[in-house]
Structure 1
């Protein structure tokens, strides 16, 4: 790893889904089929992709635009997700291995719920990659709010202004959370601008973490 970028930051924060890991499409499609049956509404491949990957930013806002109650959707969604099946269908991006080379505190800030996140981390054997972890909830707040980011920074002991950090993620919410918390932002574009329908700007914009080092 090139020392320059690593030495630039006292700590790193990372998103999980779409940033370090992803899930096989067949799993996503099956979940949306079952949720659609529960809600009495079919989801197209494009709609499932938008919600799963957060392509338009706030998933709740997108659901509301489609006339779907977010609470009903998420209740049905989480009822249909089996943590062990989700873990088995999850794979690690090859370029995510850079995390193991970081010689500074590393934190995880994810919207993935704890009952799903923990089995995934165990299955991929990446639990020890992170010195602190937070799975966002209504109580902690959701990215792009800075509160969950600040909470992990406090857990890492880097919450004061004397530390310089960076947050890496695959969505606009990650970039917003970084900037709102006073951090630099890395946007890793896993899906492509055409599929996303817009260009997410960050302090660094890459298609792979390999480009950074």
Structure 2
């Protein structure tokens, strides 16, 4: 299987796909957010929200009776970019991205004030020819708008260009399909922990399985 030859461009998610963060950092952030909101988050709840295991994080928060706006304001206030970067590590099987000889773009829900320090720390900023950190203005995956924006920046479209988007969440697969791309789902957490099976054009536990 030679996916580099099969596709004219690649798009990738960041958190959970190319990089991950130590659990201790996640737990500490949710402890501080919980203190601010007057609500404790269990390990399972923190895992669900951090990894987006049930799909829409806002919908999940609402089901738990937590106001999404208040949560995200507190969450972003409690994230320290330098600490986040220091406790982030690169998945070894993601190294192939640096060797791709086609246009490569990054489409991530990681906010810009966190994304840049993380990219610098793990040394992958030069992997991408274009990147976008989703906001309310750009839209969030599975909305195709942020994907199509990066495609435009890369100078690729559907007129003869075949692309693929790789990510660890159902929203990544949805964004790929909504934008007319193939989707690779890399299952970092396992179906049992996720509680469901995310389907994509390719379903792998490691990018090594693609080569």
TM-score per shorter chain, which class? over 0.9
Instruction: Name which of 169, 172, 182 aligns with 2:180.
Output: 182
Per-residue deviation, 1:87? 0.1
Aligned match of 2:206: 208
The SS at the match of 1:6 is: helix
The residue correspondences of 1:58-97 to structure 2 (distance < 5 A) are: 58-97=56-95
Per-residue deviation, 1:162? 1.7
Aligned match of 1:116: 114
Instruction: Name which of 46, 49, 52 aligns with 2:47.
Output: 49
The SS at the match of 2:131 is: strand
Per-residue deviation, 1:197? 0.1
TM-score by length of 2: 0.99
Per-residue deviation, 1:203? 0.1
* Higher mean displacement: 157-166 or 64-73: 157-166
The residue correspondences of 1:1-213 to structure 2 (distance < 5 A) are: 4-213=2-211
1:59-113 deviations in Å (ceiling 9; x for gaps): 0010011111100000000000000000000000000101012110000000000
CA–CA separation in structure 2 for the residues paired with 1:28 and 1:57: 18
CA–CA separation in structure 2 for the residues paired with 1:83 and 1:37: 20
Per-residue deviation, 1:161? 2.6
| Runs of 5+ unmatched residues, structure 1 | none
CA–CA separation in structure 1 for the residues paired with 2:121 and 2:156: 29
The count of corresponding residues between Structure 1 and Structure 2 is: 211
Could you tell me whether the CA contact under 8 Å between 2:98 and 2:124 is conserved in 1? no
| Runs of 5+ unmatched residues, structure 2 | none
The RMSD of aligned alpha carbons is 0.7
TM-score by length of 1: 0.98
The list of structure 1 runs, each at least 4 consecutive aligned residues, that deviate by more than 3 angstroms after superposition, is: none
Could you tell me whether the CA contact under 8 Å between 2:187 and 2:206 is conserved in 1? yes
Per-residue deviation, 1:182? 0.1
